[in-house]
Structure 1
Amino acid sequence: MSTNITPPPVPALPPQPSKKSHTHAYIIGGAAIIAAAIVATGIAISGSGNDAAKPGPTVTVTETVEIEAAGEGEAAATTDQTTDARVGEVARNGGAVVKVTKVTETDTIVLAGARESAGADAKYVVLKTVVSNEGKASMDLTCSLPIVNALIDEQDRRFDTIEDLYEVAGNPECNAQLQPGFDDEMQFVYRIPADAVVTTWEFSEYNLENEVTSTVDLT
């Protein structure tokens, strides 16, 4: 006896995506990849821009310096002095007014009534001057220091006068005070190397507050 068996129904397969759906998926995926690449590129560009700072604009600042005008004391110190005189011209420093009338070089001088030799490789330089006292007090030209002075040669060496200028023939005696408003002849004598070439005489009135000197060109 035969039995007819009915086979169970075949389950239905899920619907297959169409070609159109695959195309959409590819487009969406590609767009996502492109967007991610753009974002990554932007970050990289932004980072590299921070590594090198962009040059800023150049700013020029002009500073104006105001020169302070000299005070009355400074102006007076400048205008009261006469410098760079020559032989035969008047040079002034404070109350001391000096005119160098003659410059001589010699091997011997008369000192305290006796002839004194300069010695080997040496010579005397004698500056004959007329000194006028235009200050407020008397001046002792030979035994005191009313006029600070120096003889300067072409090597910028500075020479002092010999001692006891009052013993030089023709000079004022020791403590012979030159009163204000008077003048007197005075010889400044220096002993220097025989080969020295003198160029300048420098002097100033003795005053601790006066640092300005006057010069006489001897060339």
Structure 2
Amino acid sequence: MSQNVTPPPMPGYGPPVPPTPPKNRTAVIASVAAVAAAAIAAAVTAGLTGGSEDEAGPAPTVTVTVTEEAVPEADTAEAEEAAPSDVGADFKVGDRASNEGVVVKISKVVESDTITLAGARKKAGAEAKYVTLKTVVTNETKASMDLTCSLPIVNALIDDQERRFDTIENLYEIAGNPECNAQLQPGFKDEMEFVYRVPKDAEPVTWEFYPFDLEAAEPTPALIDLT
């Protein structure tokens, strides 16, 4: 006797599933770049903070380079030239040079081999010369002064080698100078020649003077430029 056997039903198939579309290549690259940037940032942050809150890492070292600009030599030379000299003349020939009431105006500087002294010609010598300062002295002090004998005006002739020279003796014997003990009264003036005997190669550059005063501890001379 035969039996009809019904085969099991075949497995069923659902409706077809559409394939997943491929992702856009540009979006993938952008995602990868963002992940890489985040990783680098995390690594830098970890390096600066020491990796964790419990471990203090070394502070980053900052190096600052300072560049100094050298001053040009020309500018330095100009600054040195512009700087004032330690010793400078207060007046020049033709000025009314005043010092504590003594006023001296040099009108002329004369160099010669001879001078007239006591009515006679006197030679300076082979290796010397005379330097004569023709001046007008005005007495603006409170007392009289003897220009030729009592040395009321302390003075010196200074040359280009900074050598200092005194006047010759007996200035009252110079023709035209005031006589010895001729007192120049306050408020008056008189012509006066200061004469110096100096080496032949001396170049006069400065004349200094100040009134003689025993009570003055450190007198301050007035300087007149003769160049």
Shift of 1:207: 1.2
Calculate the TM-score normalised by the size of structure 1.
0.62
Aligned partner letter, 2:118: A
Question: Partners in 1 of 2:133 and 2:141 — Cα distance?
Answer: 22
Unaligned runs of 5+ in 2: 1-88
Instruction: Write the deviation string for residues 19-71 of structure 1: whole angstroms up to 9, x where unpaired.
Output: xxxxxxxxxxxxxxxxxxxxxxxxxxxxxxxxxxxxxxxxxxxxxxxxxxxxx
Q: SS at 1:166's partner residue? A: helix
Shift of 1:206: 0.6
Question: Does residue 90 in structure 1 map to residue 90 in structure 2?
Answer: no
Aligned residue number for residue 136 of structure 2: 130
Calculate the TM-score normalised by the size of structure 2.
0.59
Aligned partner letter, 1:121: E
Shift of 1:166: 0.0
Question: Partners in 2 of 1:142 and 1:207 — Cα distance?
Answer: 16
Q: Give the total of aligned pairs.
A: 137
Aligned partner letter, 2:109: V
Shift of 1:107: 0.3
Aligned partner letter, 1:172: P
Unaligned runs of 5+ in 1: 1-82
Q: SS at 1:188's partner residue? A: strand
Find runs of 4+ consecutive structure 1 residues off by over 2 angstroms. Answer: none
Instruction: Write the deviation string for residues 161-188 of structure 1: whole angstroms up to 9, x where unpaired.
Output: 0000000001000000000000000000
Question: Partners in 1 of 2:101 and 2:212 — Cα distance?
Answer: 10
Question: Does residue 120 in structure 1 map to residue 126 in structure 2?
Answer: yes
Aligned residue number for residue 202 of structure 1: 208
Question: Partners in 2 of 1:211 and 1:205 — Cα distance?
Answer: 8
Question: Does residue 175 in structure 1 map to residue 181 in structure 2?
Answer: yes
Aligned residue number for residue 211 of structure 1: 219
Shift of 1:211: 1.2
Question: Partners in 2 of 1:168 and 1:145 — Cα distance?
Answer: 15
Aligned partner letter, 2:226: L
Q: SS at 1:88's partner residue? A: coil
Q: SS at 1:110's partner residue? A: strand
Question: Partners in 2 of 1:124 and 1:180 — Cα distance?
Answer: 31
Equivalent of residue 186 in structure 1, options 179, 186, 192: 192
Aligned partner letter, 2:145: M
Instruction: Give the superposed CA RMSD.
Output: 0.8
Share of identical aligned residues, percent? 69
Question: Partners in 2 of 1:164 and 1:121 — Cα distance?
Answer: 22
Question: Partners in 1 of 2:113 and 2:176 — Cα distance?
Answer: 18
Shift of 1:118: 0.2
Instruction: Write the deviation string for residues 144-199 of structure 1: whole angstroms up to 9, x where unpaired.
Output: 11000000001100000000000000100000000000000000000000011110
